[in-house]
Structure 1
Amino acid sequence: MNARSDHSAAVPAVPAAPAASGEELVRHRAGFARAGYAGPTRYRRMPAVAAQFLTAQPMLVVGAADAEGRVWAGLLTGRPGFLQAEPAGGSPDDDAPDTVAIQARPVPGDPLAEVLAAPAEVGSIAVEPARRRRMRMNGRATPTDAGLRLTLAQVFSNCPKYIQTRDFTFAQPPAAGTVTALRGSALTMGQQLDIGTADTFFIATADRGGQPDASHRGGNPGFVRVLGPDRILFPDYRGNAMFSTLGNLQENPAAGLLFVDWETGTTLQLTGTARTDWDPAHIAEVPGAERLVEFTVLQVVELRGAHPLRWTEPGYSRFNPPAA
């Protein structure tokens, strides 16, 4: 790994607030501005069908900012049932839960382990690759004896078009103290290769108020382009015009990326800054792109064999544009 000190990585200050939200500004620039439209509906409580979906999932991606304002995306895993929606007010007859009990915490070495050892604002996304479904949940996480408790502020689903189908199994969990953590301030050649052949990754961002969000990105292998040891480029494909991620980047450039090795349980976490490239000439060079996002790496954490969750070979989404 690169020998430069991790502590030298500084996150730019959040810019002054514009008159409109970042989502509104991006939506307008992308040509989706409509009178009276304020974006997709976000709920504070979870519908019953969403609670059932959550219970069946073996993983949750979470995003949060550390004490220096760097945003990270991390992975929580467990056998189905480790995520449980809890009724509002504690009434078993209430079918609109407003909290989620999570029987897991970040593994040792994950940058979010220290962050989530105390109450923290988080964004999260649960994805079901086998059925191409996903749900995002943002709120405040507090540690519990069993893991975490997420008090919901926003619940919403969004476009599933670029999810690759996979089924999951579980391997033997890694023994305590056996997970190797590699840290640095730039990508190794091996990490660059892993990113350049990935078909899926997750991105965490935060708005100007510090509320994080986590989202999914997918495409054919090669859709993420490594421009160097500290620069990554990826396309923003046509979705449902939510623009939560790009809206946050309009307000706050800090971002975190998570790549998962579906065969080994290794995770690769990057934190840095991102900007949206609207240049038509650049966009025209990438099939299917409507915008481009350039990510600058500030810190890297690779946790080898960190999770027992395993996934089968992918069935690529028919919506994926060609990668080159």
Structure 2
Amino acid sequence: MAADVYHEGERAAQRRAGLLDQGGFSGRAIRAEIPEVASKFLAQQPMLVLGAADGRGRLWATLLTGRPGFLRADDDRTLTVDARTGPDDPLHDRLSGPAPVGMLAIEPSRHRRMRMNGRAVPTARGLRVTLDQVYSNCPKYIQKREPRWEPAAPGRPERSNALTGDQRRWITGADTFFIATADREGNADVSHRGGAPGFVESVSPTVLRWPDYVGNAMFNTLGNLEVQPRAGLLFPDWRTGAVLQLTGTARTDWDPAHAAAVPGAERLVEFTVTDVVEIPGAVPLRWSDPVPSRFNPPVPPLGEAP
């Protein structure tokens, strides 16, 4: 049965949302092999989002970039990534050895994305990943952007245990972020979240909240949070190549009354920050101003974060 591709947390989240049957239908798209059309898609991409746990078990999401061709399907079960994290990246040491990873190849210019989960081992130029899960995702909430290259050395990282005022404004002005989660056994996953600027609320220097919009009913992220609250967030600065990486814990607020107060929300997710890393100019990719997705729900006007 298709539902067998889901673990207990994913099935629990589908039941809570009343979408177990729909999730089973969507699960038919999950496979362990890379289709030929997906191999061609991967070879065209300049960017990969990767999620994993560090040596202390904290989950992080990071951004790997390269000229098209840096992602290569060596066969239908193996992906080679010819890129490495920088030495200041929170996952740099962890990826020097075998690690479960979640990956998302996303093409903002054409509203396409593809998720891949598996086991990574280091190579001379990056990573080789043996895949367990491969599937495309709903393209809603992807803002259209065109890439260009501006190679430069990354700046000095800033580390803290709470968000600064500038970082809070970065987050509340964002239209996109990525979230890494894992199941009880440590199998990692990374997913995209998008919306109109302001869809992520900075409740305090250590608490964020965002709406969970209607999607493909798989509930991979929320299903992981049902059994394992650790999570990592990645906010890219599309103009400068900077990245803001957060790790902490997340929980789903299933109260329909709370969701009803936020346009388009099916439920809410609250994230508690424990560690923050900001790296200026972390990647050489720059992107054009966005063309917002027509699916973005409206966001009520909010004042600047204090």
Superposed displacement of residue 182, structure 1: 0.3
Q: Which residue of 2 aligns with 1:160?
A: 139
SS of the equivalent of 1:75 reads: strand
Q: Which residue of 2 aligns with 1:101?
A: 80
Q: Which residue of 2 aligns with 1:230?
A: 206
Deviations 1:121-163 (A, max 9, x none): 0000000001100000000111101111111111011111110
- Tell me which amino acid in the other structure corresponds to 1:251: V
Q: Which residue of 1 aligns with 2:15?
A: 28
Q: Which residue of 2 aligns with 1:134?
A: 113
1:56 to 33, 38, 44: 44
1:193 to 152, 159, 169: 169
| Distance across 2 between alignment mates of 1:164 and 1:289 | 18
Relative to the length of structure 1, the TM-score reads 0.88
Checking the alignment, whether the CA contact within 8 Å between 1:59 and 1:78 is kept in structure 2 is yes
Within 5 Å, which residues of 2 pair with 1:1-324? Answer: 21-34=8-21, 37=24, 40-41=27-28, 42-87=30-75, 97-174=76-153, 179-324=155-300
Unpaired stretches in structure 1, ≥5 consecutive residues: 1-19, 88-96
Deviations 1:41-89 (A, max 9, x none): 32111000000000111100000011221100000001111101112xx
CA distance change for structure 1 residues 281 and 150 in 2, over 3 Å: closer, same or farther?
Answer: same
| Distance across 1 between alignment mates of 2:52 and 2:163 | 22
Checking the alignment, whether the CA contact within 8 Å between 1:158 and 1:242 is kept in structure 2 is no
- Tell me which amino acid in the other structure corresponds to 1:47: P
Superposed displacement of residue 172, structure 1: 2.0
Checking the alignment, whether the CA contact within 8 Å between 2:23 and 2:216 is kept in structure 1 is no
Checking the alignment, whether the CA contact within 8 Å between 1:120 and 1:141 is kept in structure 2 is yes
Deviations 1:206-250 (A, max 9, x none): 000100000000000000000000000011000110100000000
| Distance across 2 between alignment mates of 1:130 and 1:36 | 28
SS of the equivalent of 2:93 reads: helix
Across the aligned residues of Structure 1 and Structure 2, the Cα RMSD in angstroms comes to 1.3
Larger helix proportion of the pair:
2
| Distance across 2 between alignment mates of 1:141 and 1:40 | 24
- Tell me which amino acid in the other structure corresponds to 1:30: A
| Distance across 1 between alignment mates of 2:53 and 2:22 | 34
Checking the alignment, whether the CA contact within 8 Å between 2:22 and 2:217 is kept in structure 1 is no
Superposed displacement of residue 268, structure 1: 0.3
Checking the alignment, whether the CA contact within 8 Å between 1:24 and 1:38 is kept in structure 2 is no
Superposed displacement of residue 38, structure 1: 7.2
| Distance across 1 between alignment mates of 2:26 and 2:228 | 19
| Distance across 2 between alignment mates of 1:43 and 1:253 | 26
Checking the alignment, whether the CA contact within 8 Å between 2:14 and 2:23 is kept in structure 1 is no
| Distance across 2 between alignment mates of 1:244 and 1:316 | 25
Checking the alignment, whether the CA contact within 8 Å between 2:23 and 2:218 is kept in structure 1 is no
| Distance across 1 between alignment mates of 2:92 and 2:134 | 24
- Tell me which amino acid in the other structure corresponds to 1:78: G
Deviations 1:22-43 (A, max 9, x none): 1111101101123993751321
Checking the alignment, whether the CA contact within 8 Å between 2:11 and 2:20 is kept in structure 1 is yes
Percentage of matched positions with identical amino acids: 59
SS of the equivalent of 2:157 reads: strand
CA distance change for structure 1 residues 267 and 22 in 2, over 3 Å: closer, same or farther?
Answer: same
- Tell me which amino acid in the other structure corresponds to 1:44: A
| Distance across 1 between alignment mates of 2:87 and 2:22 | 48
